[in-house]
Amino acid sequence: MAQDTQVQKHWFKPLMLLLGLFAVVFLASIILIDYKKSKSNVDSFVELTQGSSSKSSSENIIAASRPAIPKLETTEDPYLGKKDASVVVVEFGDFQCPYCREIYPTLREISMKYQDRVKFIFRDFPLSQIHERAQAAAEAAGCAFAQSNDKFWAYHDKLFQNQDNLTDEDLKNYAVQVGLDEKKFSECFTSGERKAEINEDFLDGAAQDVTGTPTFFFNGRKVQGVIPKDKFEKALDLFLK
């Protein structure tokens, strides 16, 4: 009996290590597949923006203009630009996503350029299975938004600028750095009062087949992945015609 127990112990640790390795490989394969899917999606979108002088190309982009997608655009999420713009870009993002960090400076630049003509909305889609601090970061950003729309964007930028440092203590320090009311932020973050809002964003994204970040909706037309700046602007120009 004792010998059987020793044999079990001998095999248990290697088995657990093997299972752990399998889990890591499995998650990595999911990320790679999702990245390839995103790249293909962006490439297709880029093709549509090529040769914008042609009528057919313009019609392809505009074809999905303003479709009825319930709850995709809300008045309860942070935004930049013109409040009642005819062109609306909704981003589903994750503060721990490297691709979201890659594109965020471009988005800030574009939002400034088109601020009088386009509305840019940010909605949360934390991929908690692979980004363990994404949910906490989203809740912290939600607490910043609870104080003001402008404070949200300052906090949003701070998170992407410090993506490798997202502990609870870091999140509280960033609140101070961007000028938030420290007491209100701490109460909001500790209570978890933004969880429901984050969950609503996530479910709305999932309902529209959002599976990775960043995912954008140009007047309802879904594009997943990092879009080159020139193609992003060309698409906006086509929608604005």
Confidence at residue 75, expressed as pLDDT on a 0 to 100 scale: 82
Would you state the structure tokens that stand for residue 104, as one six-digit string? 């965020």
The predicted pLDDT at position 55 comes to: 40
> Where on the phi/psi map is residue 172: left (φ > 0), alpha (ψ -120 to 50), or beta?
alpha
Q: Does the pLDDT of residue 224 top 70, yes or no?
A: yes
Q: Which amino acid is at 69?
A: I
Average pLDDT estimate for 127-148: 98
Which pLDDT does position 73 carry in this prediction? 82
The three-state secondary structure class of 120 is: strand
pLDDT value at 181 more than 80: yes
pLDDT at position 30 is: 47
Output the pLDDT for position 52. 42
The overall longest dimension of the chain from CA atoms, in Å, is 81
Looking up residue 146, the CATH number of its domain turns out to be 3.40.30.10
| 127 vs 26: which has the higher pLDDT | 127
User: What total number of domains does the chain contain?
Assistant: 1
- Identify any residues that bridge with 161 across adjacent strands, giving them in sequence order: none
Helices within the chain (DSSP H only): 2-49, 55-62, 98-113, 134-147, 149-161, 168-177, 182-191, 195-207, 229-240
pTM: 0.78
Which amino acid is residue 124, in one-letter code? D
| The 215-218 sheet, strands edge to edge | 79-81, 118-124, 87-93, 215-218, 221-224
pLDDT above 60: residue 200: yes
Q: What is the mean pLDDT of the chain?
A: 82
- Residue 47: is its pLDDT beyond 90? no
Q: Is the pLDDT of residue 58 over 90?
A: no
pLDDT at 60: 43
How big is the CA angle at 32 (ends 27 and 35), to the nearest 5 degrees?
A: 125
Question: Domain residues for 208?
Answer: 2-240
1 pLDDT more than 80: no
pLDDT exceeds cutoff 90 at 7: no
